[in-house]
Amino acid sequence: MKKNLLFGLMLALVFISCQNEEKSEADTKVTVKHSSEIIWEKLNPARGDQSPKAGTIWGNRNGTEATGFLAEFKDGFSSPAHIHNVTYRAVVLSGWVHNDDPEAEKMWMPTGSFWTQPAGEAHITAARGSSTIAYVEIDKGPYLVKPTEEAFDEGERPVNIDASNIVWQNAYESDYVKNTEAEIAFLWKNKELKGSLIRIPANFSGKIQSEGSIFHAVVIQGNPIYQLKKEKTSLDPGSYFSSEGKANHLLSTSDGESSTLYIRSNGSFTVSN
């Protein structure tokens, strides 16, 4: 009798635990945004029509919080030497970008390339191609453009990684990608956050299970299909999905087309079939 009662209590506890877990995931805030929903404005209004365009994806680059936004440059664009008050990271979505010291030889970075620009360091940014777009990310705002006379050095150094030099890890090398042909490339990490690229193979059907309270995913390349509840939607480069808390992001790709995502998170995540 006592054994049956104890067994019943254990089953009840397991049932309650499962209910709480399901409720927790159901209550998680999930956001999906298409690139067509992005509102564009001038990145540096002081330059008028010569300014690149900027479209905020998440956050507020004019505020004080962390922010992710798209920057679009005209073919042949080249900025004057300048500095920024905050450090930024960036990934090329399309076209070719050069970002370096004012006197440096041009290093044109194609789609999938990654670079960082330290706060206070003088540099120029140039673009080549009819549609050059980059995803830009800051850990705090506002994002400002200032003259080189105000340059300063906080000890950071820039990073420029051509897409061909990105180091990818598969399921045999990383626990972030399981039972799948997906690959991951680790780009940066600090005490709380990390940034990665995920390459999802063609004809994929699976999920990204995120655990952290911060999870931002931006499509860099390809057109993955995202399923939210019972609805499926195609996401082109510049589109985005996020979650605040534990969530399962259901994704698929078409036959013959892979997809690359940039992920910013403060918790672990796994990609699996």
**ω into residue 45 within 30 of 0, thus cis?**
no
> For 18-53, how does the pLDDT look when each residue is reduced to its tens digit (9 = 90+)?
333 333 455 689 999 999 999 999 998 888 888 999
> For 197-213, how does the pLDDT look when each residue is reduced to its tens digit (9 = 90+)?
999 999 999 999 999 99
> For 54-99, how does the pLDDT look when each residue is reduced to its tens digit (9 = 90+)?
999 999 999 999 999 999 999 999 999 999 999 999 999 999 999 9
Report the pLDDT value the prediction gives residue 50, as an integer from 0 to 100. Answer: 84
* pTM given for the model: 0.89
Q: Angle CA(223)–CA(188)–CA(199) in degrees, nearest 5?
A: 25
Rounded to an integer, the average pLDDT of 131-141 is 97
For 15-84, the DSSP string reads HHHHHHHHHHHHHSEEEEE-GGGPPEEESSGGGGGGSPEEEEEES-TTSSS-EEEEEEE-TT-BPPSBEE
What domains appear along the chain, each with residue ranges and CATH number? Answer: 38-163 (2.60.120.10), 167-272 (2.60.120.10)
Report the pLDDT value the prediction gives residue 26, as an integer from 0 to 100. Answer: 58
Distance CA 96, CA 12 (A): 59
Rounded to an integer, the average pLDDT of 230-238 is 96
* Residues sharing a CB contact under 8 Å with residue 203, sequence separation 6 or more, in sequence order: 253, 254, 255, 256
Question: Which is higher by pLDDT, 256 or 225?
Answer: 225
Question: Which is higher by pLDDT, 34 or 230?
Answer: 34
Beta strands at 269-272 and 177-178: parallel, antiparallel or unpaired:
parallel
pLDDT, averaged across the chain: 91
Report the pLDDT value the prediction gives residue 8, as an integer from 0 to 100. Answer: 46
Distance CA 112, CA 122 (A): 24
Q: How confident is the model at residue 182 (pLDDT cuts 50, 70, 90)?
A: very high
Structure tokens at 243: 């979650």
Structure tokens at 189: 């990490």
The answer to whether residues 177 and 184 touch, using CB atoms and an 8 Å cutoff, is: yes
Distance CA 61, CA 67 (A): 6
